[in-house]
Amino acid sequence: MFRALAFGLDRFQSTKLFPPPRPLVLSRPLHELRPSKKRAKKPSQSGATMPELPEVEAARRAVEDHCVGQKIKRAVVADDPKVIEGVSPSGFQSSLEGKTIVAAKRKGKNMWFQLDSPPFPSFQFGMAGAIYIKGVAVTEYKRSAVKDTDEWPSKYSKVFIELENGLELSFTDKRRFARVRLLNNPTSVPPISELGPDALLEPMTVDEFTESLTKKKIAIKTLLLDQSFIAGIGNWIADEVLYQAKIHPLETASSLAKESCATLHKCIKEVVQFAVQVDAKCSLFPLEWLFHFRWGKKPGKVNGKILNIQEPS
Please list the active-site residues. Answer: 51-52, 109
Question: Can you say whether the dihedral through the CA atoms of 44, 50, 52, 54 is positive or negative?
Answer: positive
> Which three-class secondary structure string do you get for 86-153?
CCCHHHHHHHHCCCEEEEEEEECCEEEEEECCCCEEEEECCCCEEEEECCECCCCCCCCCCCCCCCCC
Which residues pair with residue 173 across a beta bridge?
A: 129
Q: How far apart are CA 60 and CA 54, in angstroms?
A: 10
168 neighbors 162 (Cβ within 8 angstroms): yes
Q: How far apart are CA 210 and CA 173, in angstroms?
A: 37
Residue 198 DSSP symbol: B
Of 49, 55, 7, 59, which Cα lies nearest the Cα of 275? 55
The DSSP secondary structure of 11-80, one letter per residue, reads T-S----SSPPPP-S--S-GGG----SS--SS--TT--SS--HHHHHHHHHHHHHHTTT-BEEEEEE-S-
Cβ-based burial of 194 (10 A; exposed 0-12, middle 13-18, buried ≥19): exposed
Rg of the chain, C-alpha, whole Å: 20
